[in-house]
Structure formats: structure tokens, C-alpha cells
Amino acid sequence: MTPKEKAIELYKKLVIHIQRYDEYVDERSKINTKKCALIAVDELINEVYNISHQYTAVYNNETKFYNYIDSKELKFWKEVKQEIENL
């Protein structure tokens, strides 16, 4: 599944719970749905970040700091977040 497909899937799952019980989705419902989807994705990003960085830390002998490489899961959820923002 692409990040765009995942963003649309999350949006569709949430919109039915947020929209008014009308036949159409008004602009306020769309904004609230995006906000809720972004909250959920931010939580996922934080969890994936914390987990993946335990395993992707690479110590740099020159700088004496750890460098962290974003995991493919972290990159995916960051792209999903961007796609939700673009909806």
C-alpha cells in the first residue's frame, strides 16, 4: 500500500465518525477528520521513531555522536502524514 492509499484509507475510516449525520460531509467535518488522522499518525510516528532508533543508531567516531537512520516504517508514516496534509 502506498502512503497516499494509506492516507485515504485512514481518512475514510475517520470521516464517517466525524461527519454530521447529513447526506454530505461539510468543510468543518473534513478539517476535523484531517486533524484526527494527523493525531493518529503522529502517535504512530513517535512510537516507530522510538522503536526504530534503538536499532538504527550508528556511532560516529569522528563526531562522538550517534547518527540515526530512519527506518522504512518511519519514512512510510512520515509520507502518510504528508499525504493527509495534502488531502
pLDDT at residue 9, rounded to an integer: 95
Q: Where are the domains of the chain?
A: 3-86
pLDDT at residue 4, rounded to an integer: 96
Phi, psi of 84 (to 5 degrees): -65, -45
pLDDT at residue 21, rounded to an integer: 55
pLDDT at residue 25, rounded to an integer: 63
List all residues 6 or more positions away from 57 whose beta carbon is below 8 Å from its beta carbon.
Answer: 66, 67, 68
At 9-60, the pLDDT tens digits run: 999 999 887 776 555 667 888 888 999 999 999 999 999 988 887 777 778 8
Cα separation, 74 vs 84, whole angstroms? 15
On whether the CB atoms of residues 37 and 10 are closer than 8 A, the answer is yes
